[in-house]
Amino acid sequence: DSTATQVPLARDKVRHVGEPIAVIVARSPYEAEDAAALVEVDIEPLEAVSDLEGGLEPDAPRIHEHLESNLAAHVIQRKGAYEEARERAHRVIKRRFWYDHGASAPMENRGIVANWDARSRELTVWDTTQAPIPIRNGLAAMLGLPQSEVRVIAPFIGGGFGPKIMMFYPEEVLLPWISMRLGRPVKWIEDRQESFFATTQERGQDHEAEIAVDEEGRILGVRDEFLSDTGAYNPYGLTISINTQCTLLGPYRVPNYHSEFRMVFTNKPIVTPVRGAGRQHGVFVMERLLDRAADELGIDRVEIRRRNYLNPEEFPHDHEIIYQDFAPLVYDSGSYAEAMDRAVEMIDYAGFDSGVRAAARAEGRHVGLGIVSYVEGTGVGPYEGARVGIEPGGRINLVTGVGTQGQGHFTSFAQIVAEQLGVGADDVEVVTGDTARFGWGTGTFASRGAVVAGNACHAAALKVRQKVLAQASAVLGAAEEDLDLADGFVRVVGGGESVSLGELAARANPLRGAVTPGTEPGLEATAYFGPERGVTASGVHAMILEVDPETAMIRILRYVVVHDCGRVINPMIVEGQIHGGVAHGIGNAFYEELVFDEGAQLQNASFMDYLLPTATDVPTIETAHVETPSPLNPLGVKGVGEAGAIPVGALFAQAIEDALDIDGFEVREIPLSPNRLFELIRDAREGG
Ligand code: MCN
């Protein structure tokens, strides 16, 4: 509900811990902290909502008084006729699952510097945002300035992982406003404790799900009903929950589906996407249900997945529901069984029982294997743009609107342009995230940089290539088809004649003489790319894990990722993205947990109490690529930035069950922790 929009400083009511209520401006952070202690706050404690089911009770305290309840949204998507399928089913398996998430925990917290220059009428804001252009647009609207007077720069940012795209954080409005009031620059840097409360998180979903299968383990249908925590406000609408709803279908053929969710306002910090953005929840539910179906039917867990995979001939595959961009959920391409085959081979699935497991058993150690599949809808619209230009000195400029937080865009986008212009990636100077340099676009999220911005870079480079060829053809007196671009020169193929790109750029900006009417100056072009819908990346993760049943401590012995992000632009960057994602996933699956008390107070807002995985917890990750190019964009790429994090919870659950092999022991919740796992093992042993 848009009437439940947050305002920069809480008015009348504070809805979550960390919601700002006053601003203090001082010459130093030390003075500001001291001054904060002088602010007297008279707050009457109200009853809090911290739990999803309780939040929907008719007598629950209302987070937003003017709404009828704490229900933020209720969405049903259906395909086929689930109830009918259920009646025909050989087995129906039902479970309840809980999936919690954690803090995004970037190395660099949020920070903003704002400077209003009244003389030049320019507001410059340096902001750790993933979306500088929407921030520019919003600031102009809120502060009553023309967009041309607002410049937002997203400099190098030490990690974003989703929450830095929130539009708007209170500080993003307050700092520019204060600078305009005071006529001087102001700076704010978030500290770690503030980051735990005031930066958005992604959390709680409570699923009641069932799967209907035939004797062979073929999926007849799935029914899933879930509650999703949105925190005190809901700036991101339906994104996370729809991601869950859609991603649950995974790489499988699911003829009948009933999925229903309710998003619930609570008094917890605001929920917005964090790497994976609800997708891991869906993967967890589906993979867990398939594991249970495999157990009950006595079918091997890899085999049951194979029986349900969509085949390469079935693309495009329409799932008949809509995705987070509100476009139909239609998969473009994929080769799921191929990815599974590679993973099975890499982890030596066939030899595991008699090999690694048997050897461990002989030593009294408990080792298990997990292997799960997932898909990820990536590269959603609306659009991004890029401008490519060649300077008379031969330097090549590339400017795009997306911000960058460590994804390697400077390298991969430079490569895309270099390929078209016959230069090295080093020769392309890249600028991102400065609205004064490029003012159209949305931002870096939803693993869309490569697909949307990358294809815009490609389109702009192609246009410049055309201009180069036309110019060179005139200069060298040769047909365009006979020209080749390499090493910064255009050459006549087979001949010796050549001209440098720099010289062509100089000629394209003549100081004297006539030109053919209609000629545009410069070797420069701007292009945009807006896909009709997203593209579907996919993969299989496999892991061998040792669990100590007495202490519930784990050790990951091997971790294998087989991944398909379409055509790979830069293998090293893609691997780095996968590694980072897996590390994130391991943290969320087994270490990181945000602990709230009944009053929705966060109990562990520091890295002393909130466990992040460290280098000793993250194993060597072995990767392989399957490439099914996307037919929906000229580069054939799909996204990869979130993929590593998505299936990890489901993988842990399966591997831990496999290692322990205790009757009645099932993992139905994430995150685990050594402590929680200890309790689950104890409960299973006690038959509880
Ligand atoms: N790439 C490639 N070939 C492909 C696909 C991608 O070479 N077929 C490259 C891209 O060119 C880009 C990188 O891989 O350099 C990631 O591309 P993409 O998957 O398009 O993701 P985005 O650029 O949109 O980045 C966003 C994504 C998200 S949503 C989160 S969350 C996340 C992530 O990236 N946050 C990150 N990775 C992160 N990595 C770092 N270091 N820091 C973060 O905050």
Per-residue pLDDT tens over the stretch 387-396:
999 999 999 9
- Ligand 1 atom with the smallest distance to the CA of 273 is 31
Element (H, E) at 536: strand 535-547
- The token duo for 16 is 């979550």
* pLDDT at res. 688: 59
* pLDDT at res. 517: 87
Region class of 488: left (phi > 0), else alpha (psi between -120 and 50), else beta: left
Query: Could you tell me the distance, in angstroms and rounded to a whole number, from the CA of residue 12 to the centre of ligand 1?
Result: 41
Query: Could you tell me the distance, in angstroms and rounded to a whole number, from the CA of residue 641 to the centre of ligand 1?
Result: 4
Does ligand 1 have an atom closer than 6 angstroms to the CB of 613? no
Residues in Cβ contact with 92 at an 8 Å cutoff, skipping those fewer than 6 apart: 86, 210, 211, 212, 213
pLDDT digits (tens, 9 = 90+) for 151-169: 999 998 999 999 999 888 9
382: cis peptide before it, omega within 30°? yes
Nearest CA to ligand 1 atom 16: 641
- Could you tell me how far CA 339 lies from the centroid of its own chain? 22
Cβ-count burial 313-339 (b if 16+ within 10 Å, e if not) = eebebebebbbbbeeebbbbbbbbbbb
CB 210 within 8 A of CB 94: yes
- The token duo for 234 is 């809901």
pLDDT digits (tens, 9 = 90+) for 494-519: 878 999 999 999 999 988 888 888 88
Opening angle at CA 252, ends 248 and 254, nearest 5: 80
* pLDDT at res. 513: 87
Mean pLDDT within 434-446: 94
Rounded to whole angstroms, the Cα distance separating 155 from 432 reads 8
CB 280 within 8 A of CB 653: no
Q: What are phi and psi of 172, to 5 degrees?
A: -70, -25
Annotate 218-285 with DSSP letters as a single string.
-EEEEEEEEEEEEES--TTTTHHHHHHHHHTTTTB--S-EEEEEEEEE-SSPPB---TTTTHHHHHHH
Does ligand 1 have an atom closer than 6 angstroms to the CB of 454? yes
Confidence of residue 44 (pLDDT cuts 50, 70, 90): very high
Mean pLDDT within 118-145: 97
CA distances from 136 to 123, 304, 357, 398 (A): 10, 50, 57, 21
Compute the mean pLDDT over every residue in the chain, rounded to the nearest whole number: 95
Mean pLDDT within 360-374: 98
- The token duo for 218 is 């073929």
* Side-chain-facing half-sphere of 20: CA atoms under 13 Å: 20
- The token duo for 552 is 């519930």
Rounded to whole angstroms, the Cα distance separating 114 from 169 reads 14
Cα dihedral 245→246→247→251 (10° resolution): 130
HEC-encoded secondary structure of 15-81: CCCCCCCCCCCCCCHHHHHHHHCCCCCCCCCCCCCCCHHHHCCCCCCCCCCCCCCCEEEEEEEEECC
Q: Is 579 helix (H, G, I), strand (E, B) or coil?
A: helix
What are the E-state strand segments in 391-522? 396-400, 428-432, 483-486, 489-492, 498-500
Query: Could you tell me the distance, in angstroms and rounded to a whole number, from the CA of residue 131 to the centre of ligand 1?
Result: 14
- The token duo for 334 is 């994929």
- Ligand 1 atom with the smallest distance to the CA of 639 is 19
Cβ-count burial 173-189 (b if 16+ within 10 Å, e if not) = bbbbbbbbeeeeebebe
Q: Is the pLDDT of residue 11 over 70?
A: yes
Does ligand 1 have an atom closer than 6 angstroms to the CB of 400? no
**Strand partners of residue 76:** 260
How many C-beta atoms surround the C-beta of residue 521 within 10 A? 9
**Strand partners of residue 490:** 485, 499
Residue among 130, 156, 407, 625 to mutate when testing ligand 1 (max atoms within 8 A of CB): 407
Q: Could you identify the residue written with the tokens 């959920």?
A: 329
Rounded to whole angstroms, the Cα distance separating 562 from 246 reads 22
Q: What is the CA radius of gyration of the chain?
A: 27
Query: Could you tell me the distance, in angstroms and rounded to a whole number, from the CA of residue 445 to the centre of ligand 1?
Result: 8
Q: Is the pLDDT of residue 3 over 80?
A: no
Does ligand 1 have an atom closer than 6 angstroms to the CB of 128? no
Helices then strands, counting H and E runs in the chain, come out as 18, 23
Nearest CA to ligand 1 atom 34: 641
Query: Could you tell me the distance, in angstroms and rounded to a whole number, from the CA of residue 407 to the centre of ligand 1?
Result: 5
pLDDT digits (tens, 9 = 90+) for 643-684: 999 999 999 999 999 999 898 899 999 999 999 999 999 999
* pLDDT at res. 1: 45
pLDDT digits (tens, 9 = 90+) for 582-623: 999 999 999 999 999 999 999 999 999 999 999 999 999 999
What are the E-state strand segments in 52-198? 71-79, 91-99, 111-117, 122-127, 150-153, 186-189
* pLDDT at res. 520: 86
Q: Which amino acid is at 99?
A: Y
CA distances from 184 to 25, 119, 127, 181, 415 (A): 11, 12, 17, 8, 41
Q: What is the pairing mode between strands 150-153 and 122-127?
A: parallel
CB 562 within 8 A of CB 538: no
Does ligand 1 have an atom closer than 6 angstroms to the CB of 449? yes
* Side-chain-facing half-sphere of 159: CA atoms under 13 Å: 15
CB 172 within 8 A of CB 129: yes
pLDDT digits (tens, 9 = 90+) for 77-91: 999 999 999 999 999
Query: Could you tell me the distance, in angstroms and rounded to a whole number, from the CA of residue 414 to the centre of ligand 1?
Result: 15
Element (H, E) at 305: helix 301-308
How many C-beta atoms surround the C-beta of residue 238 within 10 A? 20
Q: What is the pTM of this model?
A: 0.97
Rounded to whole angstroms, the Cα distance separating 432 from 386 reads 9
* pLDDT at res. 166: 81
User: How far apart are the two ends of the chain, measured CA to CA in Å?
Assistant: 42
* pLDDT at res. 378: 95
Does ligand 1 have an atom closer than 6 angstroms to the CB of 455? no
Query: Could you tell me the distance, in angstroms and rounded to a whole number, from the CA of residue 408 to the centre of ligand 1?
Result: 7
Q: Could you identify the residue written with the tokens 């966060």?
A: 602
Query: Could you tell me the distance, in angstroms and rounded to a whole number, from the CA of residue 441 to the centre of ligand 1?
Result: 17
Does ligand 1 have an atom closer than 6 angstroms to the CB of 277? no
Nearest CA to ligand 1 atom 8: 568
Residues in Cβ contact with 488 at an 8 Å cutoff, skipping those fewer than 6 apart: 394, 422, 423, 427, 500, 501, 502
**Strand partners of residue 387:** 399, 526
Does ligand 1 have an atom closer than 6 angstroms to the CB of 576? no
Q: Is the pLDDT of residue 203 over 90?
A: no
CB 624 within 8 A of CB 561: yes
Element (H, E) at 577: helix 571-586
Rounded to whole angstroms, the Cα distance separating 437 from 415 reads 20
* Least confident among 101-110, 142-151, 243-252, 430-439: 101-110
Does ligand 1 have an atom closer than 6 angstroms to the CB of 580? yes
Nearest CA to ligand 1 atom 14: 574
Query: Could you tell me the distance, in angstroms and rounded to a whole number, from the CA of residue 573 to the centre of ligand 1?
Result: 8
Query: Could you tell me the distance, in angstroms and rounded to a whole number, from the CA of residue 428 to the centre of ligand 1?
Result: 20
Rounded to whole angstroms, the Cα distance separating 336 from 306 reads 8
CB 238 within 8 A of CB 75: yes
Could you say which DSSP state residue 559 is in?
E
Mean pLDDT within 83-107: 95
- Ligand 1 atom with the smallest distance to the CA of 106 is 44
* Side-chain-facing half-sphere of 520: CA atoms under 13 Å: 12
* Side-chain-facing half-sphere of 536: CA atoms under 13 Å: 28
Alpha helix segments (H runs only) across 437-570: 454-476, 501-507
Burial class of residue 608 in the structure, from the number of CB atoms within 10 Å of its CB (0-12 exposed, 13-18 middle, 19+ buried): exposed
